[in-house]
Amino acid sequence: MKAISRYVRLVGIVIGALAASGVTARAHHSFAPFDLTMERTITGTVSRFEWTNPHSWIWVDVPNDKGGVDAWAVEGMSPNYLARRGWSKSTLKPGEKITISVRPLKNGDKGGMFVRATLSDGRVLTQSGQPTD
């Protein structure tokens, strides 16, 4: 009887651990914060490009109607994913002018999920293929 009780407890712990890890993985890869039905285009200056895991980040300073600048945070795919599609940590440089399309945040904050970008030299960057001319 004691052996069965230990076995049941062990199975419960394993199932609980698997369930917890699955919830974490789903939450991390959720698109819930983004409005996938909308696309917004912004134009500004790259302030920094973070080539970091689990996702890359493009920070863009966008002029606003009050004469100031709004900092936009744009989430991209992982460096590994982007590197296999022709990107590198130097693809975007601070000071570079950029027009970028995003799936905006549902809560209205200044940010979104990367869709595509056009650089000042006319190259178009996507996450699904290599930069184009």
Give residues with Cβ within 8 angstroms of 56, minimum separation 6: 49, 50, 75, 76, 77, 78, 79, 82
Q: Which of 39, 40, 87, 82 is nearest to 62 (CA)?
A: 40
52 three-class SS: coil
- The one-letter amino acid code at 26 reads R
Give pLDDT tens digits for 77-126: 999 999 998 899 999 999 999 999 999 999 999 999 999 999 999 999 99
Give pLDDT tens digits for 27-70: 455 778 899 999 999 999 999 999 999 999 999 999 999 999 99
At the top level of CATH, the class of 40-126 is: mainly beta
Q: Tell me, what's the pLDDT at 32?
A: 86
* pTM score, whole prediction: 0.74
94 three-class SS: coil
Q: Tell me, what's the pLDDT at 21?
A: 44
